[in-house]
Structure 1
Amino acid sequence: MSISGIPAIMSSLSVQETQQPKGIDPPSLKQLESQTHVGRSRLSRRMAVYKHKVITKDGWLGDYDYTWLCTPSLPFRRKSKNRVPPFYSLDADIPLLPAIVFGLQHALAMLAGLITPPIIFASALNLDSATSSYLISASLIGCGYYLGTGLISVVGTSFATLSTATAIFDAMYKDGTCASTVAADGTTIRNACPDAYGKVLGTSLICSFLEMFMAFVPPRVLKRLFPPLVTGTVVLMIGASLIGSSGIPNWGGGSNDCYSAPSGIFALCPTTTAPRPLLWGSPEFIGLGFLSFASILLTEMFGSPFLKNASIIVGLAVGCIVSGAAGYIDGSSIASAPPITFLW
């Protein structure tokens, strides 16, 4: 063997070592039906498949790499180069335990995005706890699963409306559409204004016809009208607006009048009726917010693949646990809430 051929051999070996194998699609449900009980009817074959999934170890566990799913990414841990999770195609038959885990992971990942907009709306309009709970329940109920793309999709509440709706609420309070009360010291306190939220919903309903019309526009035309530079800038500005109007104020204790005009019931944050009310920007509030933020960062950096997709919920859970232990959470509203909420 010539010396000139050695670099090529070493190069091929390095490629083989670093290249990870691709996942193999498991057999689909249709294939399992065709392979089991060929002489039976379609219903009998399907029932046999369901029985196999429920009462057998293979139906519950399959060959999924649970170690990869639950192992944290620690900096001192030696990583496996060739470990990749199984890939499940569109019609693949997923074992029951991974299906339950993936469903829980998906629910946890989407939960924060579904409940945050109604919480911000309720805070901006000074709505009571019962109405706030109703908005959150309506958001969770309305964000159902829709089929049509070949995948299970969740239609959730949008953050894009928050900055616009907040500006509309400010204008309604300024022109008197929503009532305000002037305290003895001259500060203005916003009263609850649920009608403002209803007007925003009505406006959104009318504007939705424009989106329905745009659904028939060819994608190439939409890309010319809304290139990535435009859409990316809009999303960036929405996020920056939310940080200034809601993120930082809530980190300090609340975005209601305890932040802008502290007086009366809003002399302390979140209100004087809270279990442990404090001034806006108190170190306790800053510390709790930093704890949740640090928990999210640590989960994204060192968490397992399962926890990384639910890092927001992990941060909220850590903050709630510490807040509850320190006496900042009042569970009376949860205890008095109805077990089931109907939109009507």
Structure 2
Amino acid sequence: MHRVGVLALDGVIPFELGIPSRIFGAARDSSGRPLYSVATCSLDGQPVRADADFELAVGHDASLLAGVDTVVIPPSHALGPVREDGVLPEALGRALAGVRPGTRMVAICTGTFVLAAAGLLDRRPATTHWRETERLRRLFTTVRVDPDVLFVDDGDVLTSAGAAAGVDLCLHIVRRDHGSAVADRVARACVVPPWRDGGQAQFVRRPVPDPATGGTAATRAWALERLGEPLTLVALAAHAGMSVRTLTRRLRDEVGTSPGQWLARQRVDRARHLLETTDWPVDLVAGRAGFGTGGVAARALPRGGRRLAADVPEDVPPGARAPRRPAQ
């Protein structure tokens, strides 16, 4: 069983603190056995003040972190020295020094500042809450800050944007560890989407679509039932009762991408799911996902089937071809 240790610091935000236990705790294998154990600690094993009108009792001190496979650091509003000066407090530095080499490190929201101050993000990509990305970039000039994404997976170090983006990151970890079928079951149990389109920029800049103008949700659901068919922009627009231009604008407002990107992403996800959960030949999977041939599907999916669909180029027309792998 994969062991997860969550470090609660004074001023911790309860919502984000509870995400690892809720998401990883819901992950089960096909026989119903838990796939993760989750334990929470503070630096000294004593209760911590929450960013609310209560304290939180924890079951462990920071020595817990030496024996886990993944360490998760939720955000705290008491990270003054780290967020203001980039300095890691001595007690926190000792706790992180006890983590075994090779342990997966995960930060939610401003927890990213802790990893950066510990030197774990030097010359690596990372993100944090959109309000804090400029501060992160200014304090830690060697960190490659991406302000527009919900989370960043850099192998053994993963970071997320604020609040609910921690759910997206933890679901991504489950998907990476155990496949999309398990992650989808977790998402269903927690009543959250298994994958959210778009990024932080969508929530910062885009207004909520006016319900009176009509949306694209029904058309997107209709398209998901027909991914194996040669869907076109014209067909999508006709189903929505909109012009192509209006459909494109509305869909971008709602999910943060063009219709072509959205459709290509759904096809990649469908192909990945079928490859993981069936023994169908590649050509059959390709046809059911709308790629046409196995060769096209192979170019769309990465080695291991985990290419992020957000890498789909902007100019891919719906149903035309699989996206090319971008230059790394």
User: Above 0.5 in TM-score?
Assistant: no
Structure that is richer in strand per residue: 2
TM-score normalized by the length of structure 1: 0.20
Greater C-alpha Rg: 1
